[in-house]
Structure 1
Amino acid sequence: MKIMKKVSIISPCYNGAGYLARFLDSLMQQDYADVEFIFVNDGSTDDTENVFSAYRPRLEAKGWKVVYIKQENAGQAAALSAGLKVFTGEYLMWPDSDDILYAGHIAKKVALMEENPAAGIGFCRLNKVNEENPDKPLCVLERRQNGTNDDFAGDLLICRNILWPPVGAIVRASAFLEVNPGREIYAGAAGQNFQMFFPLAVRYSACYSPEILGAYLIRETSHSRQQTDYVKRQFDHEDTWIHTIMRAPLSDQEKSKAIIRTVNYFERLKDVYCRKIFPSAPGKSRKSQKIRLFGFIPLLKICRKKHRTVVKLFDFIPFLKIR
């Protein structure tokens, strides 16, 4: 008899009473027995706790271990970190509490990872659906593969060809704990999935399933749509990207190159947006930029010159030159 490997599912939730039952129903239809389900109530003020409590005995009747964590509202990243502190499975998933797992989702993802023992992370394809009609797919979300040249870490830095919804991912716990022994992520305002993906991507390969195993739900009130200020959202992401790069298993030179690449990417995004809002304003090319740790500690200064970029450590020590 083949022994199942335990899968831990962490699901943070804030005021999810209106859609939580649909997510829990999708868990009920899973046929994988050895599951640890960690539900993190991030200070909900609606009926979230009662909805979860109604499903808890049904999930436990499946043989699942159910862990309930309730905390003061601290945001998506802090809620996810609360679950990361206590999970015990050999595989890890962290779907949002408004996502939908299709039948066989867990078992097929585990099979994918077992077939690819060198991979630290695996992905399936997803249907993108809206709240009004979740049974009618709008499109298919996937990471398009480029043969054997899969630069997942590089693509993450510039948000190119990435399957961001966490319901599409599964992580090998031993790999995750190797690159994140502290079992937590930076409590920034955005970029939780980048923090989960990037450290793994620089150390391990990824594997991909051609099957559509779940649905990513678009809601007007979802976490990813709460911020309407585009420029602020880019600053939030840039801040998280830099913190994650600094903690990743990279050499100092690799970290510097990664920071330069991601800073340039976000600067282009903000510049394009500002040109749309202020089309008559003259464009300016920033010749230097300071990157501060925790918002005030001078860490790196990036000086852009005509034929090269110079990185200075602590604002004055020449550290790296890129031509």
Structure 2
Amino acid sequence: MLNKDIVSLIIPCYNGEQFVERCMRNILEQDYVNNIEMILINDGSTDKTEEIIFQMKDILDQKLWKFCYIYQKNQGVGAAMNAALKKVTGEFLTSLDIDDLMMPNSISERVKWLKRNPSYALVRTNGYFLFPDKVKKLFYPEDYQASPDIFQDILNGKIYNWAGTYMIRTEKWLERCPSREIYPSKYGQNLQLLLPAAYGNRGGYIRFPLMMYYIHGESMTHQKDEYGEKRLNNTYGFQDIYMHVIKEICKENQKLSMYEKMIIATFSRRRIELAIELNDKNLCKRAYKELQDTKLQTEQDRIRMYMFVSPIKGIFLRIIRKLREKQQEMF
């Protein structure tokens, strides 16, 4: 039995001494604080994370509807989420990365939206990227038009899936994941919550920003080759998550095959863009071959690839396309 009006907020943490106090105070500043079930999982931190948590435990117990603290030996964020999901009792479910922040009305606004729209399984919000130089940038422009078919948009890579922007109806997730377990991956856990809730359901969108996603500068200090390799591995890691989750929730072979092709196409396009950024023609060719195998490539994809690996041919294809478009306008 889920507790009505309660929001279960999951926060996994590993060696987060730099952020954990700020994060907990951010939760205490929520105007919905008395209805928050906060589940904080310490995944075997070796710094002062636990000491800081214990220093704040009394006020967390006092202010929150419930504070649940879990310590486990380091097993990774996926295992941490699985431990937390066993403790969830709220009508609504969300999560937050330890280094990000929510606006004081973030949780209450999402709850109100879901209550006003009972036919929707989840809602997402706009937010800010916060860069090391303190510059803020909206996730989505103010005139962004959101589609309720959130499942297709996630598969096509059209939307962000940051923790802290989503809230789902717990029952909708449990319908697809009654074991309360997700596919554990070092590449993240947000998709394993979102895709099952979104499958066959509608998702809403709140236009104003309700969270800040911190962009840390340390990754940019790596050597270019090392940084590029990490980003390339990330594309395959996230693709693996998509594939595992889809196989778990979709039992129709024809649909499953279509979704798998969409996923490969999405990440092949990302690898093409990464190849162009890294000036790696071989990677671009391999990624385009992956895209071709799905049979979902477009003329624009072809031109994009050739403009990089063979600019003369790319220009020729672009001219041919423009001539064809002019012919169509004439008739």
Provide TM-score, normalisation by structure 1.
0.79
Q: 1:286 to 1:90 in 2, by over 3 A?
A: same
**1:177-198 residue CA offsets vs partner (Å, 9 max, x unmatched):** 1121121211122242222111
CA distance in 2: counterparts of 1:43 and 1:270, whole angstroms: 34
The one-letter code sitting in structure 2 at the alignment partner of 1:193 is N
TM-superposed CA distance for 1:42, in Å, is 0.8
The one-letter code sitting in structure 2 at the alignment partner of 1:31 is D
TM-superposed CA distance for 1:131, in Å, is 5.1
- Contact 2:122–2:204 (CA under 8 A) maintained in structure 1: yes
Q: Which has the higher strand share?
A: 1
Q: 1:145 to 1:200 in 2, by over 3 A?
A: farther
- Whether 2:180 is the aligned partner of 1:163: answer no
- Max radius of gyration: which structure? 2
Q: Which residue of 2 aligns with 1:114?
A: 115
Q: Which residue of 1 aligns with 2:312?
A: none
Unaligned runs of 5+ residues in structure 1 are 290-301, 306-323
Q: Which residue of 1 aligns with 2:28?
A: 28
TM-superposed CA distance for 1:271, in Å, is 4.4
For 1:1-323, list aligned pairs within 5 A: 5-32=5-32, 33-130=34-131, 133=134, 137-142=135-140, 146=145, 149-160=147-158, 162-220=159-217, 229-274=230-275, 276-279=278-281, 283=285, 286=289
CA distance in 2: counterparts of 1:281 and 1:216, whole angstroms: 30
TM-superposed CA distance for 1:173, in Å, is 0.7
CA distance in 1: counterparts of 2:71 and 2:31, whole angstroms: 27
The one-letter code sitting in structure 2 at the alignment partner of 1:152 is I
Cα RMSD (Å): 3.0
CA distance in 2: counterparts of 1:163 and 1:155, whole angstroms: 9
- Contact 1:203–1:249 (CA under 8 A) maintained in structure 2: no
CA distance in 1: counterparts of 2:77 and 2:283, whole angstroms: 37
- Contact 1:142–1:163 (CA under 8 A) maintained in structure 2: no
TM-superposed CA distance for 1:132, in Å, is 6.0
- Contact 2:106–2:210 (CA under 8 A) maintained in structure 1: yes
CA distance in 2: counterparts of 1:287 and 1:125, whole angstroms: 32
Q: 1:61 to 1:154 in 2, by over 3 A?
A: same
CA distance in 1: counterparts of 2:132 and 2:173, whole angstroms: 32
CA distance in 2: counterparts of 1:107 and 1:22, whole angstroms: 20
Q: 1:281 to 1:230 in 2, by over 3 A?
A: closer
Q: The residue matched to 1:170 in structure 2 has which SS? A: strand
TM-superposed CA distance for 1:145, in Å, is 5.3
CA distance in 2: counterparts of 1:150 and 1:62, whole angstroms: 35
Q: The residue matched to 1:54 in structure 2 has which SS? A: helix
TM-superposed CA distance for 1:175, in Å, is 0.8
CA distance in 2: counterparts of 1:179 and 1:25, whole angstroms: 33
Q: Which residue of 2 aligns with 1:311?
A: none
Q: The residue matched to 2:192 in structure 1 has which SS? A: helix
Q: 1:139 to 1:174 in 2, by over 3 A?
A: same
Provide TM-score, normalisation by structure 2.
0.77
